[in-house]
Amino acid sequence: MAQIEIKNFNLYYGSFQGLKNVNMTIKEKRITSMIGPSGCGKSTLLRSINRMNDMIEGVKTEGEINIAGNNIYDQNIDIDVLRRNVGMVFQRPNPFPISVYNNVSFGLEVNRIERKRNVIDEIVQKSLESVLLWDDIKDKLKKSALLLTLEQQQRLCIARVIAVRPQIILLDEPCSSLDPHATQRIEELMMRLKEDYTIVIVTHNMQQAARVSQDTAFMLLGELIEFDKTSKIFTNPGDKKTDDYVSGRFG
């Protein structure tokens, strides 16, 4: 069970309220997209799910986010364990400036999740296979990850997340620095991955949300305006503001 249940969630950057009483339940093994105009709090909400906002000084939260029934804002939650379970892929591909192999094995080795070399080798191969990168780069495992193309780098970043065996993968505009062709292939990859993972994607691109996701959340000024089946959001939204946004009347 890896559904994400967000309950009465508020987030403040100092005195500025970034999220206002968000309530939603993200179902497992589906792709949920978050759309909305720039600055509406999509990234903020996404980063609340793996507590990456904790790093920002002056951030305060209220309410709950439950993953598999446990409130991740509980006192006794181990944040490192949480983040292994809830992986994150960023807007700009950010592989470490080390070899391809070490990028994928990094989480395993540094966290001492796995020590046996042959097991690590196997996980590295499986992770690269599941992002369809293995065949292209199996001879370049020792090469610096920064020599790969941007698309390959983004795939590598996904593989790096998969290697620590998460249940949930959060992606924050993962295609915004890629060309249309690479974007399409990453989208295909996401659709494959939803068989095994719960995926939440933030995107600026409404066509992308319509293409890849089963559910869509529309946000505005820190509020969740509407959350429903993607088909409903794009064809017959329940809220006037959603309608205006998806039909391109503002935003």
Partner 1 sequence: MIKLNPKLSQKFAVAFLFCATIVAIIPVVIIIFIIIKNGYSAISLEFLTAMPTNGMRSGGIFPAIVGTLSIVFCAILITLPIGVCAAIYLNEYAKDTLLTRLIKLAIVNLAGIPSVVYGLFGLGIFVMFLGFGVSIIAGALTLSIMELPVIITTARGALNSVPPAFREASLALGVSRWQTIRHIVLPNALPGILTGAILSIARISGETAPILFTAAAFYLPHIPRSPFDQVMALPYHLYIISTQIPNMPKNIIFATALVLLMMVLSMSLIAIIARIYFRKRRKW
Ligand X SMILES: Nc1ncnc2c1ncn2[C@@H]1O[C@H](COP(=O)(O)OP(=O)(O)OP(=O)(O)O)[C@@H](O)[C@H]1O
Residue 94 structure tokens? 């950010």
Query: Minimal distance in Å, beta carbon 160 to ligand X?
Result: 22
Interacting partner of 12 out of ligand X, Mg ion, partner 1, none (Cβ under 5 to 8 A depending on kind): none
Of 160, 194, 211, 241, the one binding partner 1 (CB under 8 A) is 160
- The binding track of 93-132 with respect to partner 1, each residue x by CB under 8 A or -, is -xxxx--------xx--xx---------------------
Query: Minimal distance in Å, beta carbon 6 to partner 1?
Result: 19
Of 19, 36, 40, 43, the one binding Mg ion (CB under 5 A) is 43
Of 4, 6, 9, 43, the one binding ligand X (CB under 6 A) is 43
Query: Minimal distance in Å, beta carbon 217 to ligand X?
Result: 11
Of 81, 136, 196, 247, the one binding partner 1 (CB under 8 A) is 81
Residue 73 is a binding residue for ligand X (CB under 6 A): no
Interacting partner of 3 out of ligand X, Mg ion, partner 1, none (Cβ under 5 to 8 A depending on kind): none
Restricted to residues 51-80, the positions that interact with partner 1 (CB under 8 A) are 52, 55, 57, 80
Restricted to residues 12-41, the positions that interact with ligand X (CB under 6 A) are 13, 16, 18, 36, 38-41
